[in-house]
Amino acid sequence: MILALAFSLALADDADKPAFPIVKPGGVLFAHYGYSLTDGTDGYNEFAVDRAYVRADAQITRRLAARITLDADRLKATDASGALLDTKYRVFLKHAYLEVKEVLPGIKLRVGMIDTPYTPFYDAFWGNRYISESFAKNQRLLETADLGLAVMGEHGKGLVAWNLSLLNGEGYGNVEVDAGKAVQGRVTVDPLAPSGKQGLPITGFVAYNTHAATDAATLTWAAATGYKMQYILAWAEVLGRSEDGTSGLGYSATLNPKLPGVAGLVARYDHFDPDSSADDDGNTLLIAGLSRDWAEKVSTSITYERGWTEGTPDAPAHGVFVRMQAGW
């Protein structure tokens, strides 16, 4: 019923409209050179393409739009011994959705392969996804896209923004496996957004994922705040996960002071303990370095990246990376 009403509104446009559809292509490339400093790797180093996105946005009518995004990275499937089955880059679907705008004032609807409410929000705020994925995505707690339906709104020139999504719950890389579904919701209040020059988002997020096959459920939650202006970006979040009697808790902080047209400092610290009742199972990631924006969607960075677990703090995986993104 909701979908039928939304599409009828989208198709009932005024007669005096531009020539639709209007299609805008785009894309972005993430790549890096890395030199490993981890013990036993004997100076291993590599050139790699991390991701390649090709995107098409179509404005079908004044209210009806669509997006298709093709993504490519290396296949990560392994055999029983842990060896990679195939290391070629392959293309897969990241986005494929219809969007109905102004279902109600400030509210739109998306259906299909859509962004999830939280992890893309951090990626967009930081703007340096080519350096690292979000804290929740790195910990494999939340995906960036999934199949489902989302209702989202923005009010007061960005003062309040929200997203409520009903999703398969498996993420865009997996098929639905049972009758369970995931409900995810995010609410953001940003008192500085109406100015258009600064941002102070204060965000709450919750996801409840049911698993019909195991009669269990997963609760994931996050609370975050950030500050963004021309010369500095800061972000801090707390993230929790409860599943089948096991509770995990973690935190992440990002700091990016910069001189536009010159360079910026990159600093990020992530820590997550997947089981608060167990010892020595927490993991930590540290990223520190310099970045430079050469154009609106063209950036490079040089970073030192170090990851370790509480059980083996003296045996970190670490290295130096030169990373880049090129978008259009």
Q: Which amino acid is at 271?
A: H
The tens-digit pLDDT sequence of the chain (328 residues) is: 555 555 555 555 544 566 889 999 999 999 999 999 999 999 999 999 999 999 999 999 999 999 999 999 877 666 666 666 677 788 899 999 999 999 999 999 999 999 999 999 999 999 999 999 999 999 999 999 999 999 999 999 999 999 999 999 888 888 887 788 999 999 999 999 998 889 999 999 999 998 766 778 999 999 999 999 999 999 999 999 998 889 999 999 999 999 998 999 999 999 999 998 888 889 999 999 999 999 989 999 999 999 999 888 888 999 999 999 999 9
Q: Name the token pair of 96.
A: 């494929």
| pLDDT score for 14 | 47
Query: Residue with structure tokens 């005024």?
Result: 14
Distances (CA, A) of 228 to 99, 187, 197: 28, 18, 9
What dotted CATH number matches 2-14+22-327? Answer: 2.40.160.10
- Distance from C-alpha of 167 to C-alpha of 231, rounded to nearest angstrom: 37
Residue linked to tokens 């893309």:
120
pTM for this prediction: 0.87
Cα–Cα distance measured from residue 299 to residue 28, given in angstroms and rounded to the nearest whole number = 11
- Express each pLDDT in 125-145 by its tens digit: 999 999 999 999 999 999 999
| C-alpha to C-alpha distance for 252 and 239, rounded to whole angstroms | 8
- Count other C-beta atoms under 10 Å from residue 300's C-beta: 18
Contact 273, 250 (CB under 8 A): yes
Average per-residue pLDDT for the chain: 90
Q: How far is the CA of 314 from the CAs of 306, 308, 311, 317, in angstroms?
A: 11, 8, 9, 10
- Alpha helices in the chain, H assignment, sequence order: 2-11, 119-126, 135-138
User: Quick one: tokens of 120?
Assistant: 């893309």
In angstroms, what CA-CA distances link 94 with 86, 91, 101, 174, 266? 20, 9, 21, 12, 28
Q: Cα 38 vs. chain centroid, distance in angstroms? A: 28
Report which secondary-structure segment, H or E, holds 129.
none
Which DSSP symbol is given to 78?
Answer: B
